[in-house]
Structure 1
């Protein structure tokens, strides 16, 4: 029973990522990566819009507050580090401003929270 719940949560998570991808593309973002595994962290979505290089974490929760609080300080730090390391490894990305955003998928809809987490960790 526990395994079934885990599998269902995994599938819902993937569906949420696809919803976020579609929304990002409709709002003019260029998708640079999807489910990127880095030594620092897994990046759900890496996107570019204008001068913003966005490391995007996707969470499906009942409320926006639950989605934001589901990303703890350690994970926030890892997301920042993953973005910074990507910029170090890929010189073409250095000219963009790094941002860590959250996509919250809730029963109320889709919410893109820009700069959801501060870098000062």
Structure 2
């Protein structure tokens, strides 16, 4: 039973990430990478618009506000370490600025894109 719930959550998460990527593309972003796993942590989406790289966490919940509040400070720190790791392996992007975004999704609602949702050193 627990395995089935985990698989259902994984499927919802993948669907949410796919929809978030589509949403970002419609806003003029180019998706550079998806579901990035590093020894330091993971990032759902890495997108670029102009000279800005956005490391995007995607949360899909029954309500957009619940989704927006679902990322803990510890999660952001893991995402930041993964972003450092990823950027170190992409020196051609060294001149780009970067930030941490959140896309909150819920069934039947428009996505909420929180740009610059978190900064290292802030709780």
TM-score normalized by structure 2? 0.89
Match of 1:74 in 2: 74
Match of 2:3 in 1: 3
Q: CA–CA distance in 2 between the matches of 1:110 and 1:98?
A: 21
Query: C-alpha root-mean-square deviation of aligned residues, in Å?
Result: 1.4
Could you list the per-position Cα deviations for residues 34-92 of structure 1 after superposition, in whole angstroms to 9, with x for gaps in the alignment? 11111111111111001210111110013333223211111101111221222222211
User: C-alpha displacement at 1:118, in angstroms?
Assistant: 1.9
Aligned residues: 121
Q: CA–CA distance in 2 between the matches of 1:83 and 1:54?
A: 9
Check conservation: 1:77, 1:119, Cα contact below 8 A.
yes
Check conservation: 2:68, 2:103, Cα contact below 8 A.
no
Q: CA–CA distance in 1 between the matches of 2:87 and 2:106?
A: 31
Where do 5+ consecutive residues of structure 1 fail to align?
none
Q: CA–CA distance in 2 between the matches of 1:88 and 1:16?
A: 27
Check conservation: 1:17, 1:58, Cα contact below 8 A.
yes
Check conservation: 1:68, 1:116, Cα contact below 8 A.
no
Partner secondary structure for residue 70 of structure 1: coil
TM-score normalized by structure 1? 0.91
Q: CA–CA distance in 2 between the matches of 1:82 and 1:42?
A: 6
Where do 5+ consecutive residues of structure 2 fail to align?
none
Match of 1:111 in 2: 112
Check conservation: 1:43, 1:79, Cα contact below 8 A.
yes
